[in-house]
Structure formats: C-alpha cells, structure tokens
Amino acid sequence: MRVILVTKDDGYRADLTDVAEAGLPEGDVTVRVEYSTLNFKDSLALTGASPVVRSFPMVPGIDFAGVVEASPSPDYSPGDRVVLNGWGVGEVHWGGFAEKARVRSDWLIPLPPGLTTRQAMAIGTAGYTAMLCVLRLAELGVGPDAGEVLVTGAAGGVGSVAVSLLAGRGYTVVASTGRPEHAGYLQHLGAAQVIDRAELSGPGRPLGKERWAAVVDSVGSHTLVNACATTRRDGVVASCGLAQGSDLPGTVLPFILRGVTLAGVDSVYCPRPRRLQAWERLAREMNPAHLDLMSSEIGLEGVIPAAPEQLAGRTRGRVIVNVAGGA
C-alpha cells in the first residue's frame, strides 16, 4: 500500500513509498482511507520544522475518513464509514497519509449522516476545531447579537470554517488576514469586514480600545495578546492555534480589569461525546457550497511539496488529500 513515511535514519525526510499492510501498527479496526487533509501540524511533521513526530518511522496525517475493512470491535462493522481526528495519530501512531490505517475503535466516530467522506475531510480537523470554538463561545454566553466577532488567520483552514459557521449563525464576523487578495473570498464566506493582520500581529499595549465581543484565534503570540487586549468587557477569546507562535507576550490586565475569558480549545484529546456533538452540528450547519469554495484537492503525490507552501501561508482554506484515487 502507498504511504508517506517520515524517517530520520539518514537525516529527517519524508517519502512517498510502499509498505506491506502487515506493517500497520496495532489497533482493533482497519480502515481503507479514502480522504485525509493537509493540516498545519501535518506540514510541520512533513518538513521537520517542529518536533511534531515523536516516533519513527511515522505516517503523518492527523485525520482521515474512510470505510471499515476489518473490525473485531462490536462498535464497527465492515462497510461502516468513519472519521478520525487527533488522538496522536500522525504523531505517535501511523496516520491518514496511507491507503489503509489501523487504529483503536474508540478513536473513531461514525460518519455523520448527510456527509460524504470527501466532505468530512473538506471540514477536517481544522473545521472540527473551528466548531469546537464556536460551541465554546455560545456556551459562554456570546450570542449573535453580542457584537463583532474577530476571526484571526481567517484565510486558513480553521479561520475559513469559523467565518462560515459564525456568519451562518448570524454573528457579525470580522476576518483578519495577511492576504488582502482573499478579501472577496472571506466576504463570500460571510465576513462583514476584512482587516489586515498587521493591526494585531505586532507588539501592542496591555489594553486597547474595546471592540470584540468574542474572538476565534488560531494564531497565538502577539496576535492573541492584542485580540485579548481589545476584547470587550466579559468577552470570550477561544484559542486553538499557534501559527504565529506559542508564546503569550502579554499581561493579565484584560482578564482582571475587563473580565475577559481566555478559553483554550483542544481538538486532539477532546472527549468522544463532545466530538459527536461537534460533528453532528457540522453536518447540520456547514454550507456545502462554502466547502467547495474553500477546498482544493491533491493526491498523496502532492502532499510533500504542498507542506512548505502551507507553512509559508501560500495555501487557502482546506487542502483535501485524495488518498484512494490520487488527483
């Protein structure tokens, strides 16, 4: 079977190669992978830009959707369509950049009715993470009438889906991006306004003028600090990424003077009931036309060259990997 394999025997490298199915790691469900996606974390793993991979050799791919081929587990039968996100897959356990995957049954969820495996990966981990952020904002009391909601890194995977979901729920969305050529794209997804990321990406003051009722941030570092500093009293900032950096060079002032809530969102080890809730809402709320607009498709052979392009910010929205059929 074809896989992308990351090794470091003779320097860190990623190769498209063939391995025997017998080489698959332990697990109680074998899945024929139809689609995966290229996520930011996958690109870090493929290039070695960050120590994402913790066991070698490794098949990256932190998510996939496909069809169960074999399962002694009572939870799944051959022919079932399933989705996987996270659980260390693609980091410590072979992931989705392979024609087959063997994983634990409790890492899988059934493909929600109304979604194809391709649509599920057009959403992917980025979209699933975006929904977790949207759910968090709503649970912490930020409704559509609360005011402007900022989405940072808006032209990326998490950001694109967040813009679409929030706008679909009736929120007034302000999209921050460093790529002004994508303003029309973001407005088509539902953004009421598009701003330059330079307004948020540099060192800022401990507190700024109050503006945002809430924020979905996938960028981190100065951008997250500035977003917190300009969030209104009792607002909520959902943090789920570190595209700019993992540091937090700010102060506690937004939290102790304005009551701002900084809500961390973890998609990797999210409990199963929460996953099911998020995917059920995605199947119901995600606009299929928006999925088509925000998605591009490559085959396994296109994954390795696409990784540095994604890290450099030259990809838009979601990159679907057609594992079964190439591109």
**pLDDT (tens digit, 0 to 9) for every residue of the chain, 327 residues total?**
999 999 998 889 999 999 999 999 999 999 999 999 999 999 999 999 988 999 999 999 999 999 999 999 999 999 999 999 999 999 999 999 999 999 999 999 999 999 999 999 999 999 999 999 999 999 999 999 999 999 999 999 999 999 999 999 999 999 999 999 999 999 999 999 999 999 999 998 999 999 999 999 999 999 999 999 999 999 999 999 999 999 999 999 999 999 999 999 999 999 999 999 999 999 999 999 999 999 999 999 999 999 999 999 888 899 999 998 844
Closest CA to 141 of 260, 256, 235: 235
In a domain, 237, yes or no: yes
Residues 188 and 240 in one domain: yes
CATH number, residue 193: 3.40.50.720
Encode pLDDT of 46-55 as tens digits. Answer: 999 988 999 9
Would you say residue 65 lies in a domain?
Answer: yes
Three-state SS at 84? strand
Nearest to 63 by CA among 127, 154, 19, 153: 127
Judge whether 66 and 32 are in contact, CB under 8 Å.
yes
Residues 130 and 203 grouped into a single domain:
yes
Same domain, 292 and 250: no
* 36 and 106 fall within a common domain: yes
Residues 9 and 104 in one domain: yes
Is residue 271 situated within a structural domain?
no
pLDDT per position as a tens digit, 55-77: 999 999 999 999 999 999 999 99
Phi and psi angles of residue 236, each rounded to the nearest 5 degrees, phi first = -130, 135
144, 27, 28, 112: which is closest to 77 by C-alpha? Answer: 28
> Measuring CA to CA, which residue among 74, 80, 83, 12 is closest to residue 49?
12
For residues 235 and 147, give the distance between their C-alpha atoms in angstroms, rounded to a whole number: 10
Two tokens, residue 240: 């789920």
In this structure, the answer to whether residues 22 and 105 fall within a common structural domain is yes
What is the dihedral angle through the alpha carbons of 282, 284, 287, 288, rounded to the nearest 10 degrees?
90
8 Å CB contact between 84 and 103: yes
Q: How far apart are CA 241 and CA 157, in angstroms?
A: 11
**130 and 260 both lie in a single domain:** yes
In a domain, 219, yes or no: yes
What per-residue confidence (pLDDT) applies to 327? 40
- Whether 159 and 249 map to the same domain: the answer is yes
Q: How far apart are CA 158 and CA 131, in angstroms?
A: 9
The answer to whether the bond into 144 is cis (omega within 30° of 0) is no
pTM of the model: 0.93
The token duo for 192 is 């009421």
Q: Is residue 120 part of a domain?
A: no
Residues 72 and 182 in one domain: no
**Adjacent-strand bridge partners of 68:** 31
Assess if residue 272 is contained within a domain: no
Q: How many domains does the chain have?
A: 2
Q: What's the domain range around 162?
A: 126-264
